[in-house]
Structure 1
Amino acid sequence: MIRYVLRRLLQLIPVFFGATFLIYTLVWAVPGDPFSGKCGQTACPQAYIDLMTQKFHLNDNLIVQYFKYLGSLFTGDWGETFNGNSVGELIGNAYPITLRLALVAVLIEAVIGLTAGVLTGLRGKGFLDNLVLVSTTFLISLPVFVTAIVLQIVLGTELGIIDTSVSDNPGFGELIVPGIALGSLSMAYIARLTRTSIAENRHADYIRTAIAKGQPRSRVVGVHLLRNSVIPVLTFLGTDLGALMGGAIVTEGVFNINGLGGLIFRGIQNRESATVTGVVVLLVLVYLLMSLIVDLLYAVLDPRIRYD
């Protein structure tokens, strides 16, 4: 196990450098004047341009810029915006909110999606199966922002059950409805993925052997069938946490949530390259961490998987 973990950590190193270099290149190598609009309607004075050019190492070639940025990043310095705001502080204020929203979305999609997928996978064709298939097809066909707006109008404006916008530092309770909107698409995919996996594995040889040995149905389903069928779902959920954190821009905008989505949107809108780079690098780290955790959980769910 230790050798496997070390090997996986070593494999993550080139992925980290490759992904962050690509991100840095795409953000900082964008054509155009990086100081456009930074001084209002007038052109920025040359003294300001010289100061910012030196501060962000814009006179160096791209590779030198990248490694200087990494050097600062490894010491905990995420850089500054052109206005002098600390990117680390901006991310520190926004990250916990988006993380809570993403966790709520993952929990909702896992509970509802897995439940629907297991029930339909075990029962086979019938009313419930058709209902889940129609419902998931409907959710997949709807963009997330449409689901968010509909929930906001119906539950907030029409029924008054929720506030149309959340507070500056919302708790888990306030994020339930935005979490449903954010996780609706993934919930539909999880339900279908679980249904397909259950339906395929319930006719496998090891299931028939367990039944032939006289094991209780609860053990056959809970220990043998579910543990093997949930592996592809676990992979989806692990990577989906990072995807939800990066894809929460629209949902956060609809419910006025001050998270990473709004931060990266403003960074793109204002061409704050340091902010955009910092947020995306953080998302890369989340993806890599979740990928490692998912790999380690495989052996817990399926003893046939070995780390040799």
Structure 2
Amino acid sequence: MGRYVLRRLLQMVPVFLGTTFGIYLLVWALPGDPFAGKCGERDCPDEFVAAMNEKYNLDDSIFVQYGKYLWNLLRGDFGETFSQVPVSELIANSYPVTLRLALVALAIEALIGVTAGVVTGLRRRGFLDSLVLVSTLFLISIPVFVTGYVLQLVLGLEWGIINPTVSSKAGFGELIVPGFVLASLSMAYVARLTRASIAETRRADYVRTAVAKGLPQSRVVGVHMLRNAALPVITFLGTDLGAFMGGAIVTEGIFNIPGIGGLIFKSIQAKEGATVTGLVVLLVLVYLVMNLLVDLLYGVLDPRIRYD
């Protein structure tokens, strides 16, 4: 196991370098003036442009720029915005909120999606199976912003069950409805994926053997079926955490959540290259770590998998 983890960590290094270099290249090496509009309606003075070029190493080649950025990144320095605000400070303010939202969405997606998939996979072609299939198709067909606005209007403005917008503290209780909105699309896919996986696993020889031995249904489902059927579902859930953190722009905008999604959107609008680069690099790290954890979970769920 230790050698496998070390090998995977070493494999993550070129992936991290390649993705972050591509991000840096797209943000800083594209044609255009990165300082356009920074001085109001008039053009920026040459002294300001020269100072900014020196500060962000824009006079160097793209490889030298990336090397200096990577060196600063290894020391925990994500750079500064054009208004001299540390990017690490912006991340520290918005990252915990988006992380809580992503965890709530992941929990809702796993709980509802897996439960619905298991129940319908065991009882196919029944009323409940048809209900879940129609409901998931309905969720897949509706854009996330429509689901968010409908729940905000009905639960917040009409019935008064929730606050239409989230407070600045953004506690877990306030994030349940936004988390459901964020997870709605993925929850439908998880339910369908779990249903198909359970339906395929229940025909396996080891499941028929367990039933023939007289084992309780709860043990047959929980130990013999679910552990093997969960492998593709775990893969989907693992990658979804990074997707939730980077793709929550619409949900955070609807419920006024001060998270990473809104920060990325504002940074793109303001052409804050340092902020966009720092945030996307952070999301790359989340994806890499989650992929590693998913691979390690394979060996826990399926004893036939060994990391030699």
Using the size of structure 1 for normalisation, the TM-score is 0.99
Cα deviation for residue 157 of structure 1 reads 1.1
1:214-265 per-residue CA deviation (whole Å, 9 max, x = no partner) reads 2222211110100000111111111100001000000000001110011100
- After superposition, residues 96-111 of structure 1 pair within 5 angstroms as 96-111=96-111
Cα deviation for residue 212 of structure 1 reads 2.1
Q: SS where residue 41 of structure 2 aligns? A: coil
Partner of 2:126: 126
Give the whole-Å Cα distance in 2 for the aligned partners of 1:157 and 1:55.
Answer: 48
Could you tell me which amino acid in structure 2 is paired with residue 136 of structure 1?
T
Give the whole-Å Cα distance in 1 for the aligned partners of 2:267 and 2:30.
Answer: 14
The answer for unaligned runs of 5 or more in structure 2 is: none
Q: SS where residue 73 of structure 1 aligns? A: helix
Could you tell me which amino acid in structure 2 is paired with residue 72 of structure 1?
N
The answer for unaligned runs of 5 or more in structure 1 is: none
Could you tell me which amino acid in structure 2 is paired with residue 106 of structure 1?
L
Give the whole-Å Cα distance in 1 for the aligned partners of 2:56 and 2:95.
Answer: 24
- After superposition, residues 1-308 of structure 1 pair within 5 angstroms as 1-308=1-308
Give the whole-Å Cα distance in 1 for the aligned partners of 2:255 and 2:217.
Answer: 45
Give the whole-Å Cα distance in 1 for the aligned partners of 2:265 and 2:215.
Answer: 55
Give the whole-Å Cα distance in 1 for the aligned partners of 2:155 and 2:279.
Answer: 32
Cα deviation for residue 13 of structure 1 reads 0.7
Q: SS where residue 230 of structure 1 aligns? A: helix
Give the whole-Å Cα distance in 2 for the aligned partners of 1:274 and 1:113.
Answer: 38
Between 70-79 and 35-44, the greater mean CA deviation after superposition: 35-44
Could you tell me which amino acid in structure 2 is paired with residue 218 of structure 1?
S
Give the whole-Å Cα distance in 1 for the aligned partners of 2:192 and 2:223.
Answer: 21
Give the whole-Å Cα distance in 2 for the aligned partners of 1:237 and 1:186.
Answer: 9
Q: SS where residue 78 of structure 1 aligns? A: coil
Could you tell me which amino acid in structure 1 is paired with residue 123 of structure 2?
R
Give the whole-Å Cα distance in 2 for the aligned partners of 1:200 and 1:239.
Answer: 23
Cα deviation for residue 206 of structure 1 reads 1.2
Q: SS where residue 200 of structure 1 aligns? A: helix
Give the superposed CA RMSD. Answer: 0.7
Could you tell me which amino acid in structure 1 is paired with residue 174 of structure 2?
E
Give the whole-Å Cα distance in 1 for the aligned partners of 2:39 and 2:156.
Answer: 40
Between 129-138 and 209-218, the greater mean CA deviation after superposition: 209-218
Q: SS where residue 44 of structure 1 aligns? A: coil
Count of residue pairs the alignment pairs up: 308
